[in-house]
Structure 1
Amino acid sequence: MAMDHLGDIFSLVLMSLALGMDAFSVSLGMGMQALRLKRVFIAGITVGFFHMLMPFIGIMLGRFISTQMEGFAVLGGGLLLFGLGVQMVLNSFNVEEKSLMRATGFGLILFSLSVSLDSFSVGLSLGMSGVKTFLALLLFGIASTVLTWTGLLVGRKARGLLGVYSELLGGSILCAFGLKIIFG
C-alpha cells in the first residue's frame, strides 16, 4: 500500500518535471533578453501559478467526465497524454525560431498561458484517473516555477543549447505515462 502511494508520488514528480520542460525550453530563449533577477522571480511565480490553475481546471473537468463515462475515461486520458507527448516530441524537431516574448505585462501572461496549456490536458487526464488534486497541483507549480527560473538564468549564459533536448525529453516522458495509463 505504501509502495503504491510512493509510486504515485514518483509518477507525479516525473510528470511535473515533464510539464515544466516546456517552460524551461521557452525560458531559455526568453532568458537571452536582459532580465533583472526581480523579473526572473516574477516570471517563475507567474508560470507556476498558471501550471497550477490550468491543470486544476482540467482535473475538475476530467472528474466530471469520468463520472459520466467511466470506462472510456481512463483510455481517453491515456490517449490524451500520449498524444500530448507526441506533439511535444514533434515540436522539438521544429527548427523555426520562436519569437521572443517579453517577461512583463501581457507578454508574461501570454508566455505563462502558452507554456501551461499542455498542463490543462494533463489535468484533464488526471481528473479522469482520480489523482490526488492538491499534491498534483503543488508539484506542477513547484516544478514549473523552478524550471522557469532555471531556464531564464541558464538562458542568460547558454544561448539555447538545451532547449530542443528538454522538450524532446518532456514529450517522451508524457508518452510513457500515456502508455502506462492505457496499458495499466
Structure 2
Amino acid sequence: MLEKEKTRLGQILKNKALKKAGAEFSLSSGRKSNYYIDGKMVTLDPEGAYLVAKLIIELLKGKRVDGIGGLTIGADPIVSAVTALSYIEGLPIPAFIVRTEAKKHGMMKLIEGPLKRDSNVVIVDDVVTTGSSIFKAIYEVEKEGCKVINVIALVDRCEGAKERLAEKGYTLISIFTKEDIELL
C-alpha cells in the first residue's frame, strides 16, 4: 500500500472524521460506541476523496474489475472518486450505486449505473461494523448476475463484519482498522 498516502489519509481521518466523547454514539448497526467515525467527512473532502481513490485503485491493480459500487450513501463519494481517478490513470472502472429501496418512478431501479451481468465487481463502504450494508449491496448485485471479487472499507471497526463476510466467502480489505484508529 502507498504508505505516504495512507499516513496523510489517517491524519485527515483523525482531524475531520474521528469523534470521541464521554457519551455513547448510536451506530447504524444499532450498537453503541464511545467513538464515531464520520466517513463522509473524509470521502467528501477533496484531498480525502483523492487519497481514498488512490489507495483503492492500488489495491485493485492486476485484477479484472468491471465495476465498483456499494450501498448509498456510504459508498457514493468513494465510487465517484474511484471511477474518476481510474479514468485519469488509464484503468477506467465504471461505478454503480445500490439504493436502499427501488425508485418509485422512472425505471424503478434498485441499482444505478452501468452494471452488466457477469461483471466482476468490488463493493465499498466508508465504515463497516457488522457488515449489514455490505451484505445488502452484495445481495442486490449478485441477484443481477455479478460476481463480488472484493469488499473494501475505509475503516473496519472490527466488530464482526470481516468474520461474517469470510463465512460467506468474501474478503474484506480495510484501509484502516479499529486498532489503526486507536493509534491516530
Whether these two folds match at TM > 0.5 is no
TM-score interval for Structure 1 and Structure 2 normalised by the shorter chain: under 0.3
| Higher relative contact order (Cα pairs below 8 Å, separated by 6+ residues) | 1
TM-score normalized with structure 1 length: 0.25
Whose strand proportion is higher, 1 or 2? 2
